[in-house]
């Protein structure tokens, strides 16, 4: 099975359903980041906007809510379960957002369609990032903009690796490979500058942003047993192993627990670029 098919199956099965079932918690957790992209869109006032890797649609809908009927907002993702939740959300809120189930790396977007392309944690999983961003460049209008929020280095995000480190003696977990598709694939700004340059984007800028995030403490066990490498490994684990992981990993988060809240800092890059007329 090639990587693209593995990703399609993953996000249309357990991983996608986990996001749908936990969308309320995840929306609250990453709301500050969705708000940043909504603020940007409100400032730019695009006619056509694309949200790449939109998932359950929280960012797409937040932007559509801010822009009202002045813009057409489109979200694209490979997970049909997540997109079903996104469509239901848009319907409930009555916003001008539509959704496409497709791989943005290969989908034939209408050339020159979008004057703003955004993403919150949705662009780090491409098999061929240059090919993907070249496709997005063709979909952008001349003078259009790209703005995405991605994770910085794992060393800047210790909360995100607590579960993997603590569970390693119990679970067979793959080592994170630098620059490989995944959560931290865009941490290296020099590498990502090269990807965007080679795919036709210009004026690339990186700005570090540190966002305070919080979730209810009662959600913590569900969070680390459903998401990330530990969550994936536990999908096929027996009940005994599941219990062992909880007993071992939960205390490792103690320094992030403050009363009934779990608090941490999301260390991210805000990456922007522009679509010059001579780079199509």
pLDDT tens, residue by residue, 82-130: 999 999 999 999 998 999 999 999 999 999 999 999 999 999 999 999 9
220-231 pLDDT, tens digit each: 999 999 999 999
Kindly list the structural domains of the chain, giving each domain's residue range(s) and its CATH number in brackets, ordered by start. 3-154+178-212+265-279 (3.40.50.150)
Query: Quick check: 278 pLDDT over 80?
Result: no
pLDDT band of residue 177 (cuts 50, 70, 90) is confident
Q: What is the predicted pLDDT for the residue at 174?
A: 82
Query: Quick check: 279 pLDDT over 80?
Result: no
Query: Quick check: 39 pLDDT over 90?
Result: yes
Q: What is the predicted pLDDT for the residue at 280?
A: 58
pLDDT band of residue 209 (cuts 50, 70, 90) is very high
Average the pLDDT over 175-197 and give the result. Answer: 92
Asked if 230 contacts 164 with a C-beta cutoff of 8 angstroms, the reply is: yes
- At residue 163, what are phi and psi to the nearest 5 degrees? -60, -45
């Amino acid at each position: 099975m090639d990587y693209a098919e593995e990703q399609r199956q993953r996000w249309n099965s357990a991983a996608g359903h986990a996001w749908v079932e936990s969308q309320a918690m995840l929306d609250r957790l990453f709301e500050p980041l969705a708000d940043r992209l909504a603020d940007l869109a409100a400032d730019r006032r695009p006619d056509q906007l694309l949200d790449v890797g939109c998932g359950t649609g929280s960012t797409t809908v937040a932007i559509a809510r801010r822009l009202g009927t002045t813009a057409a907002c489109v979200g694209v993702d490979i997970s049909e379960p997540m997109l079903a939740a996104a469509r239901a959300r848009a319907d409930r809120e009555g916003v001008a957002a539509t959704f496409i189930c497709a791989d943005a790396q290969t989908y034939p977007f209408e050339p020159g369609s979008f004057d703003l392309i955004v993403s919150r944690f949705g662009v780090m999983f491409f098999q061929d990032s240059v090919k993907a961003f070249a496709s997005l460049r063709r979909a952008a209008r001349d003078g259009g903009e790209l703005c995405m929020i991605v994770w910085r280095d794992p060393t800047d995000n210790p909360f995100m690796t607590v579960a993997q480190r603590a569970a390693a003696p119990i679970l067979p977990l793959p080592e994170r490979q630098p620059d490989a598709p995944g959560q931290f694939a865009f941490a290296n700004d020099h590498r990502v500058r090269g990807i965007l340059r080679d795919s036709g984007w210009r004026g690339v800028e990186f700005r570090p942003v540190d966002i305070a995030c919080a979730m209810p403490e009662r959600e913590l066990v569900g969070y680390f047993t459903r998401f990330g490498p530990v969550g994936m490994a536990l999908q096929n684990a027996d009940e005994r192993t599941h219990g062992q992981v909880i007993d071992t990993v939960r205390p490792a988060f103690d320094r992030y627990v403050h009363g009934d809240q779990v608090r941490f800092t999301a260390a991210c890059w805000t990456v922007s670029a522009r679509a010059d007329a001579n780079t199509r």
